[in-house]
Structure 1
């Protein structure tokens, strides 16, 4: 061996077995390669995840905008329905008004002519009601009281069974199965003792 301060001479150096060092280096290189591969895999996964997040965010924004458009269109449709919902009914009533005005414009009419004019006008009005699903509720004497379509003003003793209509005071009306005005009726409380 050489002295500690003497330079090493490669020719005098005993031969070293480097196979162990190569195996250690190969293991370290493989570990570094695996780490690099893992980092590339994580980077790829991160990039793919970021792309998915961006795509989902874009889809979310588009869906949100679509929902807002649908909401706005629905609100516009409701506003238009409220504004123009009576348009058809109003169009049906215009001829009725025209007939009434024409009847009043005739100064010298007989009672029979007035009666005929009023009957024609009433037919026009009934036609307008039918076209717009407006139906009258007029229970006859003895019909069963229906609290969904009738309003009892009073109960009176009568020969009719309890809960029967005794008298119609005012007709009611429904529009498309919905009660606009209930019929005003007097109802039997049964026979008095």
Structure 2
């Protein structure tokens, strides 16, 4: 009985060996096709990955540019947010200067108070980068508005300043109204 059992096991083994050899051949052929297919898939996926990396890099670049632009715009808006307010305060500065001129040479506590108020207001305006336009270096059409001719001034020079001009952070807020020599 043991012999019969061994013979049957050998027969089964012999039958399985050709089947295994056949299966290995089919598996190798399948593996060869699969390897080619897998390599094609790898190539396709690698190209897709490159494309997606490029898109991600482009999106990151665009996001940075938008962020920088928004920061610049916010800074500009913050810088010039006081424009209307400062323009309205300039009327008060003009009125205080006129009051000081009207007082003439007479010194009084009232005049001293007006002068201190004007000084305080100008200091506050300068703190927020509101600065008077320079009228000592000749006429500049970008900062001065000629409203007449001053016969006592040299050509191209400013003779009389009728109203001071001001800038806010380098941007013209109000031009100086001047009379210019011919």
Under TM normalisation by the shorter chain, which class is it? 0.5 to 0.7
Q: For residues 159 and 147 of structure 1, what CA distance do their matches in structure 2 show?
A: 20
Report which of the two has the higher share of helix.
2
If the length of structure 2 is used for normalisation, what is the TM-score? 0.52
Q: For residues 79 and 176 of structure 1, what CA distance do their matches in structure 2 show?
A: 15
State the shift of 1:185 in Å. 0.9
Given candidates 109, 112, 133, the residue that maps to 2:108 is: 112
Map 1:26-45 → 2, pairs under 5 A: 40-41=35-36, 43-45=38-40
What residue is the counterpart of 1:165 in the other structure? 158
> What residue ranges of structure 1 are gaps of 5+ in the alignment?
1-32, 97-110
Are residues 1:148 and 2:117 paired? no
What residue is the counterpart of 2:133 in the other structure? 137
| Contact 2:166–2:172 (8 Å) recurs in 1 | yes
Q: How many residues align?
A: 132
From the superposition, tell whether residues 177 and 43 of structure 1 become closer, same or farther in structure 2 (CA, over 3 Å): same
Aligned-pair Cα RMSD in Å: 4.0
> What residue ranges of structure 2 are gaps of 5+ in the alignment?
1-28, 93-106
What residue is the counterpart of 1:3 in the other structure? none
State the shift of 1:123 in Å. 1.8
Q: Computing the radius of gyration over CA atoms, which structure comes out larger, 1 or 2?
A: 1
Are residues 1:54 and 2:32 paired? no
SS of residue paired to 1:116: helix
